[in-house]
């Protein structure tokens, strides 16, 4: 054991394939060309937003599996999650896939928490193919956590835009030429008393800073050891706060810091402080980061996905927003 919440993977499980699907508005994303499939209809031609949500996840799983010439019946585990109550989109996706399934809720940090569990199952030799990932669908999530999109409620500039996207990765035992999972840090919940669901970035920034410093000190690395350190969905507001918090902890060199939420929609101001949602970090990690590692542009990457662990009920009762960040380190050897 390395330390509390610190994991190392001696067998170096690999991310052998990924699948990323996205909604029509995500054609405005800076990364649109890297997504495997972009739908023309936000409901994917289905009756409800939630059905579309599940369909995006199914398609992402099928795309990832097809890249390693596998069928759902070849996969050992399905470890996915989303933000809808009781995670019904994930549950419906698992029904269609027929893969042994555990639904995971770490809010928008599920992209990394699922990767960590998939890597663990692979590390102990219990899994040949484990599918990990997360997704979100704008209309379904906005309705649940804020207001129905059709209601047309105003949002402040600190608010973030829930992405419509699903990102999954197929984790296998070590495979040469693919990014391998070296180590990870499981986050502690951080709650500094934020209550505003329109400023999630600020709520999540302390959790990201905490997990980053725990990962660096726990695994004996420094920020310069990485080609990129990418947080999940702090957004433009949260990312700036995070860099300040990190500077207070003595880390001034933030040139290799990136944030998936801040970059997702580029500079377009109509998306306010940037992207969020469980599909945000999953879509970027499993497209942009995965591809750049595969071609050798990035050799060592630290992914820190952040999640706001609130429920619609908890914020209506004016509770604070507990936040979490999980980190995973990928290397290309």
Partner 1 sequence: MSSIYITAFIVGGLICVIGQLLFDVAKLTPAHTLCLLVVAGSILDGLGLYEPLIDFAGAGATIPITSFGNSLTHGALAEAEKHGLIGVLTGMFEVTSSGISSAILFGFIAAIIFKPKGNV
Residues in contact with partner 1 by CB under 8 A are 23-25, 41-42, 49, 138-139, 147, 149-151, 153-154, 156, 196
CB of 213 to partner 1, least distance (A): 31
Alpha carbon distance 172, 65 (integer Å): 11
CB of 22 to partner 1, least distance (A): 12
CB of 47 or CB of 69, closer to partner 1: 47
CB of 137 or CB of 306, closer to partner 1: 137
Cα angle for residues 97, 98, 101 (degrees, 5° grid): 95
CB of 195 to partner 1, least distance (A): 9
CB of 25 to partner 1, least distance (A): 5
CB of 42 or CB of 191, closer to partner 1: 42
Q: Whose CA is closest to 18, among 105, 133, 121?
A: 133
CB of 25 or CB of 223, closer to partner 1: 25
The number of CA neighbours under 13 Å toward the Cβ of 306 is 35
- The interaxial angle of helices 200-219 and 235-248, nearest 10 deg, is 40
* H or E, element range at 157: none
CB of 322 to partner 1, least distance (A): 20
Q: Whose CA is closest to 74, among 146, 127, 149, 12?
A: 127
CB of 69 or CB of 150, closer to partner 1: 150
CB of 21 to partner 1, least distance (A): 15
Q: Are strands 180-185 and 165-172 parallel, antiparallel or unpaired?
A: unpaired
CB of 224 or CB of 316, closer to partner 1: 316
CB of 236 to partner 1, least distance (A): 18
Cross-strand bridge partners of residue 328: 184, 303
CB of 73 or CB of 317, closer to partner 1: 317
Whether the Cβ atoms of residue 6 and residue 218 lie closer than 8 Å to each other: yes
Whether the Cβ atoms of residue 136 and residue 22 lie closer than 8 Å to each other: no
Contacts of residue 26, defined as CB under 8 A and 6 or more positions apart, other chains included, come to 32, 35, 38, 163, 164, 165, 283
Q: Are strands 77-81 and 130-136 parallel, antiparallel or unpaired?
A: parallel
């Amino acid at each position: 054991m390395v330390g509390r919440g610190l994991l190392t993977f001696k067998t170096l499980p690999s991310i052998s394939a990924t699948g990323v699907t996205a909604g029509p508005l995500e054609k405005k994303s800076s990364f649109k060309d890297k997504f495997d499939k972009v739908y023309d209809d936000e409901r994917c031609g289905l009756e409800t937003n939630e059905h579309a949500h599940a369909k995006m996840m199914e398609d992402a799983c099928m795309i990832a599996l097809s890249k390693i010439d596998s069928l759902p019946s070849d996969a050992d585990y399905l470890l996915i999650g989303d933000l809808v109550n009781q995670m019904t989109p994930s549950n419906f996706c698992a029904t269609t896939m027929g893969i042994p399934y555990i639904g995971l809720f770490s809010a928008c940090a599920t992209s990394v928490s699922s990767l960590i569990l998939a890597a663990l199952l692979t590390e102990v030799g219990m899994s040949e193919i484990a599918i990990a990932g997360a997704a979100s669908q704008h209309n379904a999530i906005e309705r649940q956590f804020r207001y129905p999109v059709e209601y047309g409620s105003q949002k402040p500039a600190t608010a973030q835009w829930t992405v419509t996207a699903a990102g999954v990765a197929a984790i296998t035992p070590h495979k040469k030429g693919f990014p391998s999972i070296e180590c990870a840090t499981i986050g502690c919940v951080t709650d500094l008393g934020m209550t505003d669901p329109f400023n999630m970035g600020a709520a999540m920034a302390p959790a990201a800073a905490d997990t980053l410093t725990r990962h660096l000190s726990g695994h004996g690395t420094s920020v310069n050891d990485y080609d990129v350190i990418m947080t999940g969905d702090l957004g433009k507001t949260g990312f700036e706060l995070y860099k300040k918090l990190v500077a207070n902890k003595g880390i001034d060199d933030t040139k290799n810091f990136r944030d998936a939420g801040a970059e997702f929609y580029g500079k377009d101001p109509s998306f306010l402080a940037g992207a969020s949602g469980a599909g945000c970090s999953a879509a970027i990690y499993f497209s942009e980061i995965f591809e750049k590692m595969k071609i050798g542009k990035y050799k060592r990457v630290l992914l820190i996905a952040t999640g706001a662990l609130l429920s619609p009920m908890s914020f209506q009762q004016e509770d604070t927003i507990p936040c979490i960040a999980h980190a995973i380190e990928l290397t290309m050897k």
